[in-house]
Amino acid sequence: MYVTPEQIQAAGKANVDTMLSFAAMQFAAVEKLATLNANAVKTAFEDHLSNTRALFGAKDVQEFVSLQSTLAAPAIEKALAYSKGVYEVATETNAEISKVAEKRATEWNENFTSMLDKAVKNAPAGSDVAVAGIKSMLAAANSAYDNFSKVSKQATEIAEANVAAATETVKGLAKAKKVA
């Protein structure tokens, strides 16, 4: 079996398309992070100005200390919202990249198996054992990849649950400080 120029061209085009797809995903993620950062900086600056004015308007030390603790809770909540936004962008981008990588791996496996089947037709007698061994290794690798993928998804879900729980805990602490 010979590889034709058309097959080489198709493989090259598929690889370039995949790389361009990855680049577009990364660019979209950077754009989302830039927007998130710009909004966070703008809000932080506006809050800082407002808080400074409020603190300078305090009439005594007790009011100043009270204002400081009152102004801290919204800042904590905004920091949590920012970190949650960054986490969401990262997990979303990771999911998109994983989908493309899984698709390419599936295509590669299909092409490799097809090529192997064609090679078997032209192979000398007795090479069936070697081909069966290669197919067995490919099946084992696919199985390992599937297991790794499942474990990775479970780890991501656990991490998301932990982030959500930590966020709620910190929010609860911030609200408790407000009340106190």
Residue-level pLDDT at 173: 65
Q: Position 2: which residue type?
A: Y
* Average pLDDT for 70-79: 85
105-139 pLDDT, tens digit per residue, is: 888 888 877 877 777 777 777 777 777 787 788 78
Q: What is the pTM of this model?
A: 0.68
Query: Of 54-58, 87-91, 94-98, 145-149, which range is least confident?
Result: 145-149
